[in-house]
Structure 1
């Protein structure tokens, strides 16, 4: 490999020699990089180490070293991450695709073993557990058993992959959430080609920063540990596994300065909601965010990870903290080997990556600042994580949101709500007041019964605003001992004042690792959470990704009969429409202690700052401030009960799994033996009939709109997620294949079956397609006859007639999770083009990765302003020429929309294929066909210098 700047040098740790590519070597060439942001130094090292004269040149290195913070990003670089991180929802289809590529490789005369990860790939099974049972001592065992029954086939497939592919490891189910496991165990911070646990070295070990991409948008959580990584689509991750560099533009970097310290009563969750609001307002999509300032010293690693986790919510590619003394302290706390910790410190100091008080500030593209002392208790909702509501304004905010949701209901539903009447006497003391709609009395609570025996069917009256789900869940907050201990202490004080959660609340506790339950038990707090029905339900994402499980039949009936707007409160990072539970319309993000508080109140229609949360055993009102733990109480508990031996115990045998996991039958051989009868894992059609060389790009003509969508269409709206409805196209498919309704499982669990997933694409119950007014869900009109039908059935008819399809959309199209099926699904539906006002970064990349053309309306243009209805016939003019010359004359094309009366309307749109590498992907019909052809031709990329 070239070493144009003579950067390869040695350094010592404990008298042992290691090699590194040192940034300081660039000074000899007149390049001073000391002012560069921390994140760009990591990228620069990556280029130095992987310079090959082709994908990375000396000019690339020099250009990044001379980074202009104010320049509009235009320079493409090839980034090679050290490893790839997967979770099972996105990981299963990734492994399915690799297995399909092996089949295609053999069919086309190549060596199937070439389809193999070239760097470490780690998959954590964390997305499959559902909250079927909650509020009981047996909930965890019940949910774990059901999870295994539903997913045996998927898990057996992953075990085949673990044996069949090199460099591929799987963390079995019921262990933890991928991002928390990553922070607590998988992350190295500094990689070495030799054994870093013992620092045994041959004297030739190469060291370099730990970097990664992951198939989940919250991969950014690892940025809190000073590790550069972000979420990508499954297809892009697969390419990275196979040696393809991640093509990216050198970003702008926004500096976010912290000063001061958090005040009493404020939590890390409140801080991250404040940061999210500020950065969304600032506008950081496609940019790096880097945290600095004297306030860093007052932010524990767990708080940093909480902030980094929500980078997708504030729109940044990453939100990174530097490596400093707090990083080393956390590595020690989490049980990392002492030799590794010494290597991390020595390497980062040698490389100029270690932050200390007095370290000169970097130069940033722009900055903003937050005094931590100004952070106040907050929630976010009811539909988006960036919509922060101070706790003191939560009641008023809820009432405003409720009125808006009631007004947005279809006229028929409003009429039903206006004529409905409550079904029981309202004299129960647990009755809740609310506007509009009726309710349902469900018995009287017995305060003397054991907490675990309570049923959500018993006691009270639900109405608009009733909190029916309260979930301590998600990697964002369950990784943070301060908020988890605070929840436990609040539960303890509530129980001591004889408060209880309302019986209609489905409460649950789903930590991100077993370490959490260890320290809650050690502190004696688990018993109080149990008494409030926050029993352990599983170690996984659960409610945050829509695996909240069913509501009780009686609660569900009340919601449907009277069209109630009920609420969930969860300690997660996503609260988009239809995500948490299809029956719950309002969803709020909150800290774990606030989740417990709202479960006690049972309603959003309360001011927790000024109104009592309930009465104690003497009939005296109890206010939230009476049971809220102090910072000193939280910290004292953490110091006593959160210990490194807990981490070492839980992660000592993390890859081994239990008896159920190890008893799974494992298919043998380099090629997977596909089962035609399987409804979980099927060989996808991406490579069927694929020629050795791609056909030339041609103009797109005669296209029809499949959907006309508004702003903030998330990947939750596009990608199949949550439960599968009986009457949906996917439900009908499963029944036709002999699957009972009880065994439907979730869309996420069936991501390895393209037949299910394509039928669930654009099928979100809250999707509003303007092409089919008056409907909600996966409906459209088939044109030109105008018949209202499902999006899947319409696409089948269009494809049978050879009609290409278009999606029209507004701003922030594809925001949310990095779901590859949000691109794969439209591809299989026959969508060739998306025209939107703006895109979220990951989804735009995924569209290109599946060979779908992302177009962006010109400045100020949109569907309404251009008078488009979606009934037009669309053609794209200038695409073939633009692609052929590499967009040398600009990336604008002309879109011609022909109306039914023959009138045509033309407008300009910009092709959002942003890099030369993406042009190659698009020409080949996507990343995977491109990689397969490269491997077939013997032009595969060499593995990274790791």
Structure 2
């Protein structure tokens, strides 16, 4: 029976008959507030809170608190947000499915019906993270890479097939279809949902969370959603609200239009730089104004996608006529488009807001005419560099200390030439990987067509790409290949080495594949700072390739241009890109496409018939996916596998009583002390598995050959691999280890075990601490946990025995994940840090003030006992931010909390 709080359940004409909806305008009248002054994103969340009001999980107080949102209020209230659906990618989706399977195993052992563990909202898993670029620059790269993908990941795909038959609401988009966020944009997102309710049809907005931080790309079509950790998504699937503090909302007014030659990538890198400086972490961002209205839907999606890079929870664009045009062009039906438009208009949710229409916490402004062609790098996406300054910036960074984003090299080395064993000449700054990839830019037809046009002009001018440069094209969906083929541009990209190699995240997620042995040997022997240029959204240290130290984000046409140039040490605004036919100098302006050329071909990119046909054929008879056979039954049998293993988070003798006794932590040791901007790429296992690493040794001990190691991402369903790879990034710097005589810091996942003072891997030290019953702590600087929403950054930390992480500040998702795993996130006060406190890792530590009456964000005390006996008491803030997180902590984490609720029914 539907509730009718404040008489908000109303009837409207959907355009196809009568329907019902929970009216936001009526709620405004009932509470005597101007609902239309609220940010649009807040109103959509409010609709969910109102619609799902039950007097238990969601109270009348929750509805009123959010409805009375004020721009400048102190944020202390938590919002229980029930989403319409969940979206997963396979790296995070497989461990989540493993957790669900483990819950069913626990239910069976407890004598309960395993079917009590069942997703209550639709779940879509898109397989896009597994494919690597092993084959490239040849016509059959795509089929060869997919065959390798299926050979390597057969056990994972069999597990997914089991999940599809075991859970009613769990669906899989198979490999080779596209990147999760573009598939979501083109196909899965409907803009609105409806369900039967009391002999009527109830309409409500499309909302979601996803297990990838770039879930925010969907904000470009007016859908509220963002990335969460797998453990939060799992709770959401099982009927728990996604809890978060009421956010500030920053309005960004865009003015003017982009100038000729400036791309959406240049715009988003500018926005990322601007909003990072504004510190929008944990906030909603809404774009409005005339400049926003001028942007195409793919341009909006490109901006929304990069919300994690500028730190916001969301980068939201309201639905308007351009959204509707996009829905028509991508094959949504006339019926659903009519219903969507009528529903949003009756709710007052239609249209891009104008200046002064909405009350925002803060309003910023950007004139689109000020944007210039740019790259970002070499280590972070927010470090934007105008193209004219790339050469000089690289030269400056080359000899700067690593602590200042530099490479600590001698400036004279910039001109040195080194030879590989197979005769290739290499210099610092040379481009060795050039990849058109990622959800950010391959969602945008103007960028892909621009790259194709530039390739055509380059080929016609006689330009080539050196054969040792690893070039690849990994479109966001099969539609891209079709319109590049239809326009004749794919042929010219192929001639420069950019043949279609995969449909997946590839280079952007760290699946660039390896370089040749001679290149790797030369880089390592001579400590060459080689570069990669990619059209992605992430370029953190060691993410793209462990031996490539400088990685730059760029638009697809600039990726092609830098591949031709072959080096980052050339100013493409004043120096030639290369020599064409007859040795003639060819400049970037000679081959750069005009907006007129691009617009003439865009009609090929939005053809509804192509989209309908493409997504009607997700699988074909006897294709690789159809040949995969999974287990049957409602409970997984857990066969012996180095890919999938029953997670240890519940234990064989799961108790219905909370296990965590809240009390002080005594005599802890520091497992790691880290500086600023330690990302989840540093913490969570990602990329290639080194043979000599703890994970590599474990795989070899279990009969896996080096050639079959695959990547950490592909083995995320096995905790034995993942815990050994936690904090094992080759570029992470543990400040516990003293600097060497040349003042450089040891890199890699090492620590000092106390009290013996032995240097060893972080994993080995953690196991020794666990064996002797010593709790451990991680110390960190600012922005700890920035990066992808990797639940294993928290799960691995938990399995290493870490009880608390004390940092100067946290990234939103990682802080939440730590709390969700029963790990204490603690934050220094008054700008204190390990540096200011003189913490070295030789001390022992207590955390006092952890009592049964624990409160969100209360102050507790860090006690530091120095080796000589001196004692410091340091106040820190408990960053368990909400009452529900306190409950999670009492239960030892969100997963045991949810499981106890489900088994108690």
Same topology, TM > 0.5: yes
Judge conservation of contact 1:679–1:753 (CA < 8 Å) in 2: yes
Distance 1:207 1:658, change over 3 A: farther
Aligned-partner SS, 1:807 = strand
TM-score (norm 1): 0.93
Which aligned pairs between 1:912-931 and structure 2 lie closer than 5 A?
A: 912-931=879-898
CA distance in 2, matches of 1:567, 1:401: 13
How far the C-alpha of 1:41 sits from its partner, in A, is: 0.5
Which aligned pairs between 1:469-548 and structure 2 lie closer than 5 A?
A: 469-548=433-512
Moved more, 23-32 or 845-854: 23-32
CA distance in 2, matches of 1:580, 1:657: 35
Asked if 1:850 is matched to 2:821, the reply is yes
Aligned-partner SS, 1:34 = helix
Asked if 1:435 is matched to 2:426, the reply is no
Aligned-partner SS, 2:432 = strand
CA distance in 2, matches of 1:406, 1:662: 49
Asked if 1:53 is matched to 2:17, the reply is no
Partner of 2:17: 16
How far the C-alpha of 1:4 sits from its partner, in A, is: 2.0
Asked if 1:580 is matched to 2:544, the reply is yes
Partner of 1:428: none
How far the C-alpha of 1:406 sits from its partner, in A, is: 7.9
- Number of paired residues? 895
Partner of 2:555: 591
Partner of 2:6: 5
How far the C-alpha of 1:286 sits from its partner, in A, is: 0.5
Aligned-partner SS, 1:53 = coil
CA distance in 2, matches of 1:638, 1:410: 41
Moved more, 71-80 or 710-719: 71-80
Partner of 2:834: 863
How far the C-alpha of 1:594 sits from its partner, in A, is: 0.2
Aligned-partner SS, 1:735 = helix
Aligned-partner SS, 1:254 = strand
Judge conservation of contact 2:15–2:342 (CA < 8 Å) in 1: no
Distance 1:146 1:656, change over 3 A: same
Aligned-partner SS, 1:263 = coil
TM-score (norm 2): 0.97
Which aligned pairs between 1:459-858 and structure 2 lie closer than 5 A?
A: 460-640=424-604, 642-654=606-618, 659-675=623-639, 677-688=640-651, 689-695=653-659, 696-773=661-738, 774-858=745-829
Of 142, 145, 148, the match for 1:143: 145
Judge conservation of contact 2:398–2:406 (CA < 8 Å) in 1: no
Partner of 1:189: 191
Partner of 1:449: none
Which aligned pairs between 1:343-354 and structure 2 lie closer than 5 A?
A: 343-354=339-350
Q: Which blocks of at least 5 consecutive residues in structure 1 are unaligned? A: 195-200, 419-432, 443-456, 939-946
How far the C-alpha of 1:460 sits from its partner, in A, is: 4.9
Of 227, 248, 255, the match for 1:252: 248
CA distance in 1, matches of 2:852, 2:861: 12
Deviations 1:273-321 (A, max 9, x none): 0000000011100100000001122100000000000000000000000
Asked if 1:310 is matched to 2:274, the reply is no
CA distance in 2, matches of 1:53, 1:317: 27
CA distance in 2, matches of 1:932, 1:109: 14
How far the C-alpha of 1:641 sits from its partner, in A, is: 5.1
CA distance in 2, matches of 1:405, 1:440: 26
Asked if 1:892 is matched to 2:859, the reply is yes
Judge conservation of contact 2:289–2:355 (CA < 8 Å) in 1: no
Aligned-partner SS, 1:477 = coil
Asked if 1:293 is matched to 2:289, the reply is yes
CA distance in 1, matches of 2:73, 2:842: 41
Distance 1:436 1:692, change over 3 A: farther
Judge conservation of contact 1:437–1:564 (CA < 8 Å) in 2: no
Judge conservation of contact 1:133–1:537 (CA < 8 Å) in 2: yes
How far the C-alpha of 1:475 sits from its partner, in A, is: 0.3
How far the C-alpha of 1:30 sits from its partner, in A, is: 1.5
CA distance in 2, matches of 1:356, 1:285: 23
Aligned-partner SS, 2:157 = helix
How far the C-alpha of 1:157 sits from its partner, in A, is: 0.2
Of 116, 119, 142, the match for 1:117: 119
Partner of 1:238: 234
Judge conservation of contact 2:619–2:626 (CA < 8 Å) in 1: no
Root-mean-square deviation over aligned CA pairs: 1.8
How far the C-alpha of 1:638 sits from its partner, in A, is: 0.8
Partner of 2:876: 909
CA distance in 2, matches of 1:778, 1:410: 21
Deviations 1:122-148 (A, max 9, x none): 000000000011111121111100000
How far the C-alpha of 1:231 sits from its partner, in A, is: 0.2
Judge conservation of contact 2:572–2:587 (CA < 8 Å) in 1: yes
Distance 1:15 1:138, change over 3 A: closer
Partner of 1:162: 164
